[in-house]
Amino acid sequence: MPDVLAIVLAGGKGERLFPLTSFRSKPSVPFGARYRIVDFVLSNLVNSYVYSIYLLVQYKSQSLIEHIRQNWFFSSVGRNHFVTVVPPQMRMGPEWFQGTADAVFQNIGLIKDHETDIVLIFGADHIYRMDIRQMLKFHIENNAQVTVAARPVSIKEASSFGVIVTQPDQRITGFQEKPKQPISMPDNPEMAYVSMGNYIFNTNILIDALVRAEKKKQHDFGAHVLPDLVEKGYSVYAYDFGKNRVSDIKPYEEQGYWRDVGTIKAYFDAHMDMLGEKPIFEIDNKMWTIYPAKYDGPPVKILDGEIKNSVIADGALIYGGKIENSFIGSGVIVERNTEITDSLIMDDVVIKRNSKLSRVIIDKKNVVYDGEEIGLSPEKDRFRCHIDVSGICILPRAARYNEWIKEIKHI
């Protein structure tokens, strides 16, 4: 392994995930009852023996900062083992980061101080497993100056993405932004390459490219920096993510699973991908762990009830009822005679007796009252929760928790 520094871009607003991003950035949104979205990229880096990680944050970052502080602390075995949160320093002026390239440029001093051979620039917004060592091997063997992680998608889907045009040896010759007629992969006319937003740069090339982009007031890797490097004749290659292999992936899983959970429906569907006896994304992989948030509390306690095809996190207390195709977070209380179907219940939610939930997301620290039904009647739901265009109902974070606490104290 060469000396490698990782920079994770974790400042996304996640506006299409509203209201889950009302109080937190997209990478900090809880996922799968025990994780945050950011845990997937960090786990991929650590599992690939990349231990020098700067996490660039921006919008509504306190939740993310606390999560990193509590769950991603490396013991001081060496000065190059760290996950360090870097907020905007505003050294170039009063503006926040203006784009992905500008975020890295504003922290160019960290790169120079680290004296690294190679810099990884990865996003923090996706659900996937990736052995980054394989991409590094490809980068070195091809004498690449820049390597872009590329995901094969069908030609029909490719029009919704930025398409990468390559030669048969994977060298990039151009880019198409949401083209009506995407150019296919050289060896597969039914598929096209799209960028995953993950890059490997030789350090000197990255620094030079960022300085040029700053002079031109160009702030984005995908729109400005990479096309400029290709146009100038640098050796920029596409790494085929479809060929990446992670240990202990089950035969029934989708090879090269990768999801951008940027909308409520995509976020919800990615959860459903983890359910079932043979899920297409198996979270239980002891050879490639996705590291969850630590929970200092008791194990789950189930007193009664009927539970099918669901994930129940530590500290949940289930008195009874029916739970099916759902995720129940830490510290959740489910009272008797409840029905929870196809729903995501985040930490510290109280679901009181005789209530019914269907295709609902309940954010942290909430209460569903006695006999309440959510997700069953759009006419009623529009007065008490946010209804996504997909029809999924979301109860925002702590929407009712404080009034419930007052009620308890009053009693």
Q: 303-323: string of b/e by CB count within 10 Å (b at 16+)?
A: eebebeebbbbbbbbbbbbbb
Query: Consecutive 10-residue runs of the chain (411 residues): their mean pLDDT?
Result: 91 90 94 97 97 93 94 77 86 68 90 93 97 98 97 92 94 92 93 95 96 88 92 97 95 94 97 98 96 93 97 97 98 97 97 97 95 93 92 88 58 47
pLDDT of residue 50: 95
Cβ 105 vs Cβ 214: under 8 Å = yes
Q: Rounded to whole angstroms, how far apart are CA atoms 284 and 281?
A: 9
Q: Rounded to whole angstroms, how far apart are CA atoms 403 and 384?
A: 15
AA identity, residue 109: G
Task: Tokens for 138, please give them.
Answer: 């490809």
Distances from the Cα of 117 to the Cα of 114, 126, 197, 349, 357, angstroms: 9, 26, 20, 47, 52
pLDDT of residue 405: 59
Residue 21: CB atoms within 10 Å: 20
Q: Rounded to whole angstroms, how far apart are CA atoms 62 and 24?
A: 7
**Residue corresponding to tokens 């400029």:** 228
pLDDT of residue 166: 96
pLDDT of residue 411: 47
AA identity, residue 96: W
> What structural domains does the chain harbor?
4-260 (3.90.550.10), 301-410 (2.160.10.10)
Give the torsion through C-alpha atoms of 379, 380, 383, 385, to 10 deg. -100
pLDDT of residue 217: 87
**Residue corresponding to tokens 């306190």:** 62
What global pTM score does this model have?
A: 0.94
Q: Among residues 166, 162, 182, which one has the least CA distance to residue 224?
A: 162
* Continuous H helices in 164-243: 203-215, 226-231
How long, in residues, is the chain?
411
Residues near 409 by Cβ (< 8 Å), separated by ≥ 6?
none
Pairing of strands 311-312, 327-328: parallel
Residue ranges of E strands in 117-190? 118-123, 126-128, 146-154, 162-166, 172-177
Q: Rounded to whole angstroms, how far apart are CA atoms 209 and 145?
A: 11
Pairing of strands 162-166, 191-202: antiparallel
**Residue corresponding to tokens 């219940």:** 345
